[in-house]
Amino acid sequence: MSSSRNGAAVDPVEHGRKVSDMFGRIAGWYDFLNHFLSLGQDVYWRYRLARAARPAPDGRVLDLAAGTLDVSVELLRQYPGISVAALDFSLPMLEQGKRKKLAGPRAESIFPVQADGRALPLPDECMDAATIAFGIRNIVPRQEAWAEFLRVLKPGGRLCVLEFGTGSRRVWKGVYNFYLDRVLPGVGKVVSGDSGAYRYLADTIRAFPDERSLALEMREAGFDRVYHVPMMSGIVFLHVAEKPL
């Protein structure tokens, strides 16, 4: 058993099953809601994430929590010579992405696989870089995911993490917290019929470590050269770290 931030026991297997089922229910609406709820800013966030990865021109990149493959596609757009291992625990999300986004050269360079972020089906030191967008919150315990990222990255390889801010600070005079409390669940219910999924999103944002605590956590996991970049006044953070040489 693991523990959540408030001290309650969490069964990682049960947690993973519930999260996978939840994303499976909203897979068909996921892309639309991402664009709508972020006012289109998610496209820029993914651009910044991919830009920070800096793989070798013909390298291999792990995109964990790949979902409907938007980050994988952006990685390939910026680095046409790479191959992307697109791993996610939710098969319906990957299937949705495959139907919409894998055509032409993409189909030969992006490899979607259902996998657990705590036990990656990859050999040691095989990836030039790794990304995870809005997914590390869903892995319990996170320490196992950090260990797997460290294991599969080559020395000097970058890990780039995109995550929301916690909502604990006063961003835009409370607008962000109103958005988490009311807008996310409300729009999620109207559009997808599943308010619970977006209530879960708001709750996990609040329970997540702030940017400094997450940086410390990554260093303690063995990463080096850790830094973070705020976007939209800290509503979103890009975290970057490297595996030591």
Q: Range of 68's domain?
A: 2-242
Say what the pLDDT of residue 172 is. Answer: 61
Say what the pLDDT of residue 192 is. Answer: 65
The token duo for 74 is 């952006």
The full length of the chain comes to 245
Sequence-distant (6+) residues with CB within 8 A of 79 are 50, 53, 55, 57, 59, 61
Say what the pLDDT of residue 7 is. Answer: 41
Phi and psi at 239, nearest 5°, equal -105, 130
Domains held by the chain: number: 1
Among candidates 92, 136, 135, 85, which has minimal Cα distance to 113?
85
Say what the pLDDT of residue 74 is. Answer: 97
CATH code of 211's domain? 3.40.50.150
Give the Cα separation of 180 and 53 in Å (integer). 29
Say what the pLDDT of residue 119 is. Answer: 96
Q: pLDDT for 190-207, tens place per residue?
A: 766 666 676 777 787 788
pLDDT < 50: residue spans in the chain: 1-7
